[in-house]
Chain A
Amino acid sequence: MGYYAFYVFAFIAVIASLLVVGQKNPMHSVMLLIVSFGALAGLYVLLDAPFTAVTQIIVYAGAIMVLFLFVVMLLNVPREESVRAGLSRILGPFGMRIGVVLSVLLAIEIVWAMTQVGVGWFSQTPGAASVSSVALIGSGLFTRHAFAFEATSVLILVAMIGAVVLARREHH
């Protein structure tokens, strides 16, 4: 059962991502990305990481994507000019061709590399994963990785200030 779930979720994620990259309308891209995030959340659940799955939905799909939506709607982003639908149009100009070639190359490289990784099956021991992961995450986060945690909160603060400053209208 988990086997088939994996492939379903994987399939959804890949298709959605492809469509995100291929869509003309940014609004559609954002929506499709949310779908992709949902699929990934499902995969996290399969990996015995419920906390991460939920966090993904809440933070990524809920907050970040909503932010994107706001900006898209605020800017009234027009349809991408001279974007040609369809693969052949996309592959037209020289730079595009290079880009596609490179992307394919990258994909092949990474995928091939990953298959070479001589790892096998997941351990079946219930171990860390099955126990309430939230508690474990919390304890690890606030003890072993406390410094990174604090630094990250500073980072968010700085980003917030930066975003406010950058997006301000110029006052004289």
Chain B
Amino acid sequence: MVPLNHYLVLSGILFSIGTAGVFLRRNLITILLSIEIMLNAVNLTFVAVGRYHNTVDGQIITFFVMTVAAAEAAVGLALVIALFRHRETLNPDAFTALKW
């Protein structure tokens, strides 16, 4: 059997990858995808620790996380569409209207 630590480490790696993606990519959609990766890493953590404590609560929380992720993805994509209509590009560097 795999100890809990392994799951936690895996989750940490996935989370870091997601964060790197948010930071490094210059495409709005890819940024949103990276956020999904991060959320998944968190889900994994919840389920693993829930299993460790022999309780179902971890899975319930993942339920909520997924729901929120869905909502966030929907709104985020709607924003992307709106932004794309303005600038014809998905490069986040193009949206600097709030510059000082």
Contact = CB atoms under 8 A, between A and B. Distances in A.
Interface of A: 2-3, 6, 10, 13-14, 17-18, 20-21, 23, 26, 29-30, 33, 36-37, 40, 43-44, 46-49, 51-52, 55-56, 59-60, 63-64, 67-68, 71-72, 74-75, 77, 80-83, 90, 96, 99-100, 102-104, 106-107, 110-111, 113-115, 117, 119-125, 127-129, 133, 136-137, 140-141, 145, 148-149, 152, 155-156, 158-160, 162-167, 169
Given A99-B23, A166-B78, A2 B2 contact: yes
Given A55-B63, A111-B12, A117-B8, A71 B29 contact: yes
A interface majority secondary structure: helix
A124 B20 CA distance: 36
A157 to B, nearest CB: 9
A63 B32 contact: no
**Residue of A46, A107, A155 with most chain B CB atoms under a 10 A cut-off:** A107
Interface string B60-94: 10111011111111110111111011000011000
B54 A68 contact: no
Nearest to B79: A166
Given A17-B18, A107-B16, A120-B4, A99 B24 contact: yes
B44 A103 contact: no
B5 interface: yes
B interface majority secondary structure: helix
A23 to B, nearest CB: 8
Nearest to A164: B78
A48 B51 contact: yes
Given A99-B20, A123-B52, A21 B12 contact: no
B20 to A, nearest CB: 4
A66 to B, nearest CB: 11
A152 B64 contact: yes
